[in-house]
Structure 1
Amino acid sequence: MLIQRLTIIGVGLIGGSFARALKRARVCAEIVGCGRQLDNLQEALRLGVVDHYTTDLATAVQDADVVVVAVPLGHIASVFATIRPILAPHTIITDVGSAKASVVADAYQELGEHICRFVPGHPIAGTEKSGVAASFASLFENRRVILTPLAETDPQATALITQLWQHTGAEVVSMSVEHHDEVLAATSHLPHVLAYSLVDTLAQMEDRREIFRFAAGGFRDFTRIASSDPKMWHDICLANRTAILHVLAHFNADLAELADAIEQGDSAHILSIFSRAKTARDKFSG
Structure 2
Amino acid sequence: MSNALVPVLAVVGTGLIGGSFAAALRRVGQAGRVLGVGRNPASLQRARDLGLIDGIADLSQAAAQADLIFLATPVGALAPILQELAPMLRPDTLITDAGSTKSDVARLAREILGDRHTQFIPGHPIAGSEMAGPEAADPMLYHGRKVVLTPFEDTPGLLQHRLIRVWEACGARIALMTPEAHDRALAAVSHVPHFLAAAYMAQIIHAEDADTRLNLAGTGFRDFTRIAAGSVEVWRDIFLSNRTAVLRELDGFDQALQALRATLEGDPDPAALEALLEQAALARRFWGGRSQM
Q: TM-score, normalised by structure 2?
A: 0.95
Aligned match for 2:272, one of 231, 251, 269: 269
**Secondary structure of 1:62's aligned partner:** helix
Matched, 1:282 2:285: yes
What percentage of aligned pairs have identical amino acids? 39
Q: Whole-Å Cα distance in 1 between the matches of residues 55 and 39 of structure 2?
A: 14
Q: Whole-Å Cα distance in 1 between the matches of residues 10 and 227 of structure 2?
A: 29
Aligned match for 1:169, one of 155, 168, 171: 171
Report the alpha carbon displacement of residue 60 of structure 1 after superposing the two structures with TM: 2.4
Q: Whole-Å Cα distance in 2 between the matches of residues 47 and 63 of structure 1?
A: 22
Aligned match for 2:37, one of 27, 31, 34: 34
**Secondary structure of 1:187's aligned partner:** helix
- Cα deviation digits, residues 25-54 of structure 1 (max 9, x gap): 111211111000111111111111111113
Report the alpha carbon displacement of residue 61 of structure 1 after superposing the two structures with TM: 2.4
1:249-260 equivalent positions in 2, closer than 5 A: 249-260=251-262
**Secondary structure of 1:93's aligned partner:** strand
Matched, 1:241 2:243: yes
Runs of 4+ deviating beyond 6 Å: none
1:57-96 equivalent positions in 2, closer than 5 A: 57-96=59-98
Report the alpha carbon displacement of residue 194 of structure 1 after superposing the two structures with TM: 0.6
Q: Whole-Å Cα distance in 2 between the matches of residues 2 and 186 of structure 1?
A: 35
Q: Whole-Å Cα distance in 2 between the matches of residues 41 and 262 of structure 1?
A: 54
> Do 2:22 and 2:31's aligned partners in 1 also have CA atoms closer than 8 Å?
no
**Secondary structure of 1:85's aligned partner:** helix
Q: Whole-Å Cα distance in 2 between the matches of residues 82 and 101 of structure 1?
A: 21
Match for 2:121: what amino acid? V
Q: Whole-Å Cα distance in 1 between the matches of residues 282 and 80 of structure 2?
A: 45
Q: Whole-Å Cα distance in 1 between the matches of residues 242 and 273 of structure 2?
A: 32
**Which residue does 1:192 correspond to in 2?**
194
1:88-237 equivalent positions in 2, closer than 5 A: 88-237=90-239
Aligned match for 2:47, one of 44, 48, 62: 44
Match for 1:152: what amino acid? D
Q: Whole-Å Cα distance in 1 between the matches of residues 6 and 242 of structure 2?
A: 33
Q: Whole-Å Cα distance in 2 between the matches of residues 87 and 113 of structure 1?
A: 12
- Cα deviation digits, residues 73-130 of structure 1 (max 9, x gap): 1000110001111111111111111000011111111112321111110000111111
Match for 1:233: what amino acid? W
**Which residue does 2:9 correspond to in 1?**
6
Q: Whole-Å Cα distance in 2 between the matches of residues 68 and 159 of structure 1?
A: 16
Give the aligned length: 285
Q: Whole-Å Cα distance in 2 between the matches of residues 223 and 45 of structure 1?
A: 33
Report the alpha carbon displacement of residue 3 of structure 1 after superposing the two structures with TM: 2.4
Q: Whole-Å Cα distance in 1 between the matches of residues 113 and 243 of structure 2?
A: 24
Q: Whole-Å Cα distance in 2 between the matches of residues 36 and 245 of structure 1?
A: 32
**Which residue does 1:53 correspond to in 2?**
56
Consecutive unaligned residues in structure 1, runs of 5 or more: none
Compute the RMSD of aligned alpha carbons. 0.9
Q: TM-score, normalised by structure 1?
A: 0.98
Moved more, 45-54 or 180-189: 45-54
**Secondary structure of 1:262's aligned partner:** coil
Consecutive unaligned residues in structure 2, runs of 5 or more: none
Q: Whole-Å Cα distance in 1 between the matches of residues 170 and 194 of structure 2?
A: 26
